[in-house]
């Protein structure tokens, strides 16, 4: 009788992880959308990564997450792509991971490890991109994200329109 309870807990963890991916897609999409020309090369200081380099790293993090989920953890460092290609790679990585999570294939690591490692790392880097947008003179509008329409499985560039933005 305890098996169904375990399955329910596992399902709940996967759904929360999928919601975290959708949150990452929503927040990342917002931070990346409408970036001004030349933003990918903006450098806040001599030793900081450019937004393009951060975006490439996020793509690598998403690839790493999928390899972890598949039980074959590996890391690749990719070159910086043109901004829109990097944004597409970001969403494709989220989509691939989300599809794996719903595939009923076994997870190579726990949902918790996927969240605390690559997903949390990607959220941090999305915040860096948002901060760099402000520093570059193209701020992303603030929002009450708890009111945003974020749905597990919606990990592509097509996101809901913000409902509670403010200055």
Q: What is the pLDDT of residues 84-102, one digit of tens each?
A: 999 999 999 999 999 999 9
Taking a C-beta distance cutoff of 8 angstroms, is the pair 150, 22 a contact? Answer: yes
The residues near 105 (Cβ < 8 Å, ≥ 6 apart) are 70
Q: Is the pLDDT of residue 1 over 80?
A: no
The residue whose two tokens read 């494709």 is 92
- CATH number for the region 2-166 comes to 1.20.120
Domain ranges of the chain: 2-166
Q: Which stretches does DSSP call E strand in 70-155?
A: 142-143
State both tokens at 28: 């990342």
Please report which confidence band the pLDDT of residue 2 belongs to, taking 50, 70 and 90 as the band edges.
very low
pTM equals 0.93
The residue whose two tokens read 């701020």 is 139
Q: Is the pLDDT of residue 3 over 80?
A: no
Distance CA 133, CA 21 (A): 22
Please report which confidence band the pLDDT of residue 8 belongs to, taking 50, 70 and 90 as the band edges.
confident
DSSP code at position 29: H
Q: Which residue has the higher pLDDT, 62 or 3?
A: 62
């Amino acid at each position: 009788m305890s098996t169904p309870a375990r399955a329910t807990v596992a399902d709940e963890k996967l759904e929360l992880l999928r919601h975290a991916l959708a949150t990452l897609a929503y927040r990342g999409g917002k931070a990346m959308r409408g970036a001004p020309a030349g933003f990918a090369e903006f450098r806040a200081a001599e030793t900081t990564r450019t937004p393009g380099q951060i975006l490439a790293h996020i793509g690598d993090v998403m690839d790493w997450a999928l390899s972890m989920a598949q039980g074959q953890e590996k890391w690749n460092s990719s070159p910086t792509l043109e901004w829109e290609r990097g944004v597409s790679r970001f969403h494709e990585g989220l989509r691939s991971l989300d599809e794996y999570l719903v595939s009923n294939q076994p997870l190579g690591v726990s949902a918790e490890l996927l969240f605390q490692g690559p997903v949390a790392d990607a959220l941090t880097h999305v915040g860096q991109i948002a901060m760099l947008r402000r520093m570059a003179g193209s701020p992303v509008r603030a929002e009450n994200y708890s009111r945003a329409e974020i749905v597990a499985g919606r990990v592509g560039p097509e996101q809901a329109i913000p409902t509670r933005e403010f200055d």
